[in-house]
Structure 1
Amino acid sequence: MQLDFSPLANAIAQLEKSLVYAYSPAALADSGLREQLRNSVIQCFEFTYELSWKMLKRYLEATEPSPAELDMGSFQSLIRLGNERALLRSDWHLWKTYRQARTDSSHTYDAAKAEAVFAIAPDFLVEAQALLQALTRRSAST
């Protein structure tokens, strides 16, 4: 089964674009613009995060000998398996941080939490890019 990674690639591109705009001189000079662009980054982070772990799961379901076990496992076991298969750049502890940031961004609006999610988005961008590269490379070789 050939997986379509273009939705993940598009989400990553949007997150990257939002980050570039959010750190632009215009945004840094205008607090209102920065706030709006920060919100864009947070929304792109949320979407990219969701697509990342779901694409990882789809890939593992397509390539593991017992895909049904993935449905019974925890999120932590999914991330650990992704690490064992050298698909992820970061370990469970960092993915746990990303997961908490995703939860914080979607269940409560708080300026401090928004800034924390905004601050972690560049690191997650690198993680998502690495995942996409690993998935693409592995799929091309099968």
Structure 2
Amino acid sequence: MSLILIPLQKAVASLELALQQPKNEFIRDAVIQRFENTYELCWKMLRRKLIEDQGEASVALLSRRELFRMGAEYGFIGDSQRWITYHRARNETSHLYDEKKAEEVYLVAVDFLPSAQALLDSLERRNDE
């Protein structure tokens, strides 16, 4: 069985496009929203692939931190700690009431894009193994 990666492909492309635009308040907010969506798809696709490869019993009860560790262990992502940072930033997006927080999450989104692209590449390469 293989994962349907089209939603993730579109989300990564959408985030990349937003990050290519000259930054202003509206672009920043669009980047944050696209970061949220892309991050959610990334961790869910990673989880599905690990379940497919390792079995549901090995993955189903993992915390997000443990999921990222397993993803790094099996070569789907690089630094699991970096993904924890993305997770924290994603949690912050529901509390964006001030400019400083919004700017911080924007910078995380900039850092996140190459990681999301690398995960997508890894999933595409290993999708039909």
Normalising TM by the smaller chain, what interval?
over 0.9
Two-structure CA RMSD over aligned residues (Å): 1.1
Q: Report how many aligned residue pairs link the two structures.
A: 129
Give the superposition deviation at 1:90: 2.0
The letter of the residue matching 2:3 is: L
Secondary structure of the residue aligned to 2:97 is coil
* 1:127-138 mapped onto 2 (5 Å cutoff): 127-138=115-126
Runs of 5+ consecutive residues of structure 2 not aligned to the other structure: none
Runs of 5+ consecutive residues of structure 1 not aligned to the other structure: 28-33
Secondary structure of the residue aligned to 2:20 is helix
**1:84 matched to 2:63:** no
Partner of 1:43: 33
- Measured against aligned partners, the alpha-carbon deviations of 1:20-75 in whole angstroms (never above 9, x if no partner) come to 01xx2xx4xxxxxx0001000000000000000000001111111x3223121111
2-side partners of 1:111 and 1:79: how far apart?
Answer: 29
**Conserved 8 A contact 1:11-1:47:** yes
The letter of the residue matching 1:37 is: I
The letter of the residue matching 1:7 is: P
Partner of 1:2: 2
2-side partners of 1:125 and 1:68: how far apart?
Answer: 30
1-side partners of 2:60 and 2:127: how far apart?
Answer: 22
Secondary structure of the residue aligned to 1:86 is coil
**1:63 matched to 2:76:** no
Q: Which runs of 4+ in 1 moved over 2 A?
A: none
Q: Which structure has the greater CA radius of gyration?
A: 1
**Conserved 8 A contact 1:90-1:127:** no
